[in-house]
A and B are shown apart, each in its own frame.
Chain A
Amino acid sequence: GDSVTQMEGPVTLSEEAFLTINCTYTATGYPSLFWYVQYPGEGLQLLLKATKADDKGSNKGFEATYRKETTSFHLEKGSVQVSDSAVYFCALSDLSGGSYIPTFGRGTSLIVHP
């Protein structure tokens, strides 16, 4: 079946540091890929998405590129802020058994220090 693997956290950075959170996937079909973010005490919200190979999703300074050849969708940000501290989930959506059932990674906690 489909699966998503994310790097384990927590990832701890100083403000203005460069961020990479790795995400790789396995899928039987041609999935869409997503990054969701969960701020403390809240539900998940979509951060960015990409629907086909070589697409780049971007939002709030975060970027991720759909790499079919390496089955990856790594999240990057050039300069993190304290307010980026949250849990980040990589996810895919694929047609499975006639339904588009999303598959989530386990989440990566990001802690940004001033």
Chain B
Amino acid sequence: DVKVTQSSRYLVKRTGEKVFLECVQDMDHENMFWYRQDPGLGLRLIYFSYDVKMKEKGDIPEGYSVSREKKERFSLILESASTNQTSMYLCASSLSSGNTYNEQFFGPGTRLTVL
């Protein structure tokens, strides 16, 4: 069974802390994505990566960075957490075969609370 796993389901951090969210996929997918999900706003793309060590900004990259050192792992980093980064964070992956119809596979999400 294909799988995307995220390191934590729930996380509570304090303002100013450095936060790491980890995502691992076992499907050998080239593309990986980080979204945040907020009520009434749907999914918003933070960053994505289409290859190892490659990264592209999404719609809301401010306050975040990412790292992709291995194909199966994509990390989201909050350099200095703030209360407005309290949210549900979703990781996803997809194949890259030069067409548009590849679905995304999502992890279960990490609910981050910044106090």
Most buried by A among B40, B48, B90, B104: B104
Measured CA separation A106–B105 after assembly (Å)? 18
6 contacts between A and B (CB under 8 A): A32-B99, A42-B109, A43-B109, A44-B92, A46-B103, A104-B42
Measured CA separation A3–B37 after assembly (Å)? 17
Beta-carbon contact of B100 and A51 below 8 Å: yes
Known interface pairs A49-B103, A93-B100, A100-B99. Does A43 touch B90 (Cβ–Cβ under 8 Å)? yes
Measured CA separation A64–B19 after assembly (Å)? 40
Give the chain B neighbours of A102 by CB distance below 8 A: 33, 104
Looking at chain A's contact residues, is the secondary structure mostly helix, strand, loop, or mixed? strand
B: contact size bracket: 20 to 34
Measured CA separation A101–B104 after assembly (Å)? 10
Q: Of all chain A residues, which has the CB nearest B91?
A: A43
Across the interface, A89 reaches (CB within 8 A) one of B42, B100, B107, namely: B42
Across the interface, B102 reaches (CB within 8 A) one of A42, A89, A100, A104, namely: A100
Across the interface, B43 reaches (CB within 8 A) one of A30, A41, A100, A104, namely: A104
The reply to whether the CB of A28 lies closer than 8 angstroms to some CB of chain B is no
Give the chain A neighbours of B45 by CB distance below 8 A: 101
The reply to whether the CB of A34 lies closer than 8 angstroms to some CB of chain B is yes
Q: Of all chain B residues, which has the CB nearest A104?
A: B43
Shortest distance in angstroms between B37's beta carbon and chain A's nearest beta carbon? 8
The reply to whether the CB of A83 lies closer than 8 angstroms to some CB of chain B is no
The reply to whether the CB of B50 lies closer than 8 angstroms to some CB of chain A is yes
